[in-house]
Structure 1
Amino acid sequence: MEARSIATRNSGRDTADYESAAPEPMTYTGMNGPQRAAVILLVLGEEHGRAIWQELDDEEIRIITRAMAELGTVDSDMVERLMLDFVGKLSSAGAITGSFDRTVSLLEKILPPDQVALIMEEIRGPAGRNMWQKLGNIDAVVLANFLKNEYPQTIAVILSRIRSEHSANVLRHLPNELSIEVVARMLRMESVQKEALDHIENTLRTEFVSTLTQTRRRDPHEQMAEIFNSFDRQTEIRFLSALDASNQESAARIRALMFTFEDLGKLDPAGLQTLMRVVDKDTLARALKGANEQMRSFFFGAMSQRAVKNMTDDMQSLGPLRLKEVDEAQMKMVTLTKDLADKGEIVIGKGNSEDELVY
């Protein structure tokens, strides 16, 4: 993607340089949908308009209330024309059915094909009612890679509009100096003018989210981490060592995404007890026989003294084991843990975004 700044694109101005334009006189034909809805809801008032307000979602309420606040004076002739037009369309509409295909068919008669494709592709894209919610559903690494070529002020505006937890994850993946500058800008940030915010939002919509939905949505490192998880220990070490020599950054990313036997040490007490209730004793004994002292202590800490003695005896009775047998037992426990997590019976991770395990 071409590295250009959202904030200065087309306009040549940074976020802080925007100035509010003077409102133009309102005409009937010049009124947009939110403005017309605002007029109608003002006429209906609290009693008759309450039911309509209750059917709107948060984003629709935000759009209409903004239009209402900026409406100014609307003369009685325009109000009457709006109401007659509204009632006429309502009474003649009859029953209607909305669908994806029907929406496309309607828009293609009104808008250019490229614009229709962009709008509908966004609907297919990351879930969310508005652009900021969509950004909150995009992988932090992907978002950071896009934003790292933008001005710090622009990144600060964007991160101030999404969830704090997601902002923290994005900052963590930005270059160090850039992330520090972004934090400084966020601390000094005052209210952002509507024109600047709309410009950033529109550019994100056209140049990022739409592009993201047309390309591979999955980080290749995630796929490779799953493949590496399926390797035996010796093959895993061989490939990671080769990657360390040729591409240390990718090797580190894959290690961070892999879910290994040692990661079971991050289970909370309830999750550990659930795992130990379903894993068979022979598998546990084989897995622990090849485990380090820290992992043995972790599992032994969830057992009674008698159970620890029995498990130790079982491990000794196994005699020498091939490394492959230990790997198979440990991988069986990893797979079982993933299955339990998928069923919602245990939670992997401690709630801290740094400790979450992705697989």
Structure 2
Amino acid sequence: MPAPAATTPAAPAEAAAENGSMTRLQKLAAFLVMLGPDNAAAILRQFPPREVEAISREMARFTLITREQQQALLRELAPVILSAATAMPAGLELTRATLEKALGSFKASDILGRIAPSRPIPAAMQDITDMDPRNIANLIRDEHTQTIAFVISHLPPEKAAQVLNLLRPEQRDQVIERLATLAPTPVEVTEKVAEVINAKLGVKQTRALTQTGGITTAADILNAMDKNVSRSLLTSLEERNPDLCQAIRKKMFTFEDLRRLDNQAIQRILREIEMRDLVLALKKASEPLTQLLLSNISRRAAETVREEMAFLGHVKLRDIEAAQFRIIDVVRKLEAEGEIDLDAALAPEDAVV
């Protein structure tokens, strides 16, 4: 009687990937598989022949790496990659160039805005930051558009919005576009800007500046502006640069904008947020949004949320807004990971609510 056919076991690397117990060598091999042949070859050239053979052996054992495994691996490796990128000369610039080639300039700026090390307000800008908005507007209104955008990028969103409102309408259009596309500025350029500003302020010492603009900054400022002015600026920008306008709209996503997402996206978001944040956030939400969110959880859970909202009593507005911002952070994280799609929700005519 013939022996029963043996079941082919899963490859060791794949089995390890499935149960989350990959070795460091297997993680490196999986990462190289994800990068593709050209990028993997460029990296493998940096290793000694013996290590190349070991890595290649593990790469050959992978026949499938699921989306979930890829995301888990990238989350684990992201801090290491960022550390390496920021520790080497021009590391962030190399990272920017790589991301722009892979994802386009707007998506690259969005990612870099989240992962790049945060910097304090430069000393040369502190005097301006402390000034009254009208004085700031008078100080910069006759400067080049790029210079105006540079200065405004260092202001808190509320003050930046006030300064923008004091500029001429045609200036506002150009400044928002420049602000959203600001790139790292060479030292000699920032020193020149510092000289101009300091001369007007009567400050003799020149200090180099750092640029803090980008899509997120532009979105924060537009959110802080009068809604009619904000809508007008976005309409004007869309005519000149629709891709940039859409990128800004996505960053302007507010808590009430959750109403424009489908039930599948809502359910995905609800799985990621804390119940306490949901209860707090709904204290100042519209009834249609409240009904939408509660209809996507179980009846018992919805009743619990309603009860806790009633028991909360008086809540400080800043606590409610903080909870809403935490939920929006989850939305942006899921969008960046490809779990939900905001593009369909943010149609141009609905951009500002």
Larger Rg belongs to:
1
TM over 0.5: no
Shorter-chain TM-score tier: 0.3 to 0.5
Instruction: Compare relative contact order (CA 8 Å, sep 6+) and give the higher one, 1 or 2.
Output: 1
Q: TM-score, normalised by structure 1?
A: 0.33
Q: TM-score, normalised by structure 2?
A: 0.33
